[in-house]
């Protein structure tokens, strides 16, 4: 298995910079208040490295070791180990984590595919792209196109029933261009007219893919949305 971790090592300076910034804007639990362009730039550097580390699924305690190494490096402290001599250990660790993640993803893909197949067998429709759906109400008037802006109410949940997003809970509708959302929404909302409702079962490749949208949507997740199309702008 190839090791993709070296890219994260190249970005370690970014994390070291962020780790060193523990000024007045940092809170006790590690949250920060982004009040300047410099704050936002530093936070973004941390995000870049985080994307590389995400596949390792590090726990909070494991991240503390990463941050400790970064802080020691940027502050010029005496290192507890010499990173240059740990390349073999790093590679073995990364390969082990990637192998575990791949096995977990394979199991999850099988479960998600089984869910979609059961949904279709129970009367759901499916498009050529793999989007499964049920039209709950057709609505009236012209259906939106892929470049139209729509106003909707919706609820999104995982296959285990956990709700990860809901305009109903926020108490306000959502408005957005259909070409700026996940592919499952772009395709699905074109199937109903204003006043219509649709249930969408969106496989990962039409949703947030293998990366997901942490922390609420895991990688490879199938998403279920119930959407009411209120208006086409």
CA angle 177, 179, 185 (to 5 degrees): 90
Active site residue 164: yes
Residue 38: how many CB atoms within 10 A of its CB?
A: 10
Active site residue 176: no
- Per annotation, catalytic residue among 5, 119, 133, 208: 208
Active site residue 115: no
Give the sign of the dihedral formed by CA 121, CA 125, CA 130, CA 136. negative
Residue 11: how many CB atoms within 10 A of its CB?
A: 18
Active site residue 65: no
CA angle 214, 218, 222 (to 5 degrees): 130
Contact 101, 93 (CB under 8 A): no
Three-state DSSP at 61 gives: helix
Active site residue 182: yes
- Per annotation, catalytic residue among 154, 192, 198, 224: 154
Active site residue 93: no
- Per annotation, catalytic residue among 165, 176, 192, 224: 165
Q: Which of 151, 200, 201 is nearest to 177 (CA)?
A: 151
Which residues are the active-site residues?
Answer: 154, 164-165, 182, 208, 225
């Amino acid at each position: 298995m190839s090791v993709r971790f070296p890219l994260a090592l190249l970005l370690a300076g970014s994390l070291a910079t962020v780790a060193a910034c523990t000024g007045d804007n940092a809170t006790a639990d590690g949250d920060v208040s982004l009040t300047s362009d410099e704050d936002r730039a530093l936070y973004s550097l941390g995000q870049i490295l985080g994307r590389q580390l995400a596949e390792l699924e590090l726990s909070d305690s494991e991240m503390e070791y990463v941050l400790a190494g970064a802080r020691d490096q940027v502050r010029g402290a005496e290192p507890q180990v010499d990173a240059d001599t740990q390349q073999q250990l790093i590679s073995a660790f990364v390969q082990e984590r990637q192998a575990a993640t791949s096995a977990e993803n394979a199991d999850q893909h099988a479960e998600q595919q089984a869910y979609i197949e059961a949904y279709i067998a129970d009367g759901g429709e499916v498009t050529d792209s793999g989007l499964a759906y049920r039209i709950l109400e057709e609505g009236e008037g012209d259906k939106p196109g892929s470049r139209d802006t729509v106003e909707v109410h919706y609820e999104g949940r995982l296959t285990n029933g956990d709700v990860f997003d809901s305009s109903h809970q926020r108490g306000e509708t959502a408005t957005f261009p259909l070409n700026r959302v996940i592919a499952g929404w772009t395709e699905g909302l074109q199937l109903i007219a204003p006043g219509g409702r649709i249930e969408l079962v969106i496989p990962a490749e039409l949703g947030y893919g293998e990366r997901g949208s942490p922390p609420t949507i895991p990688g490879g997740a199938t998403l279920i949305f119930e959407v009411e199309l209120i208006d086409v702008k």
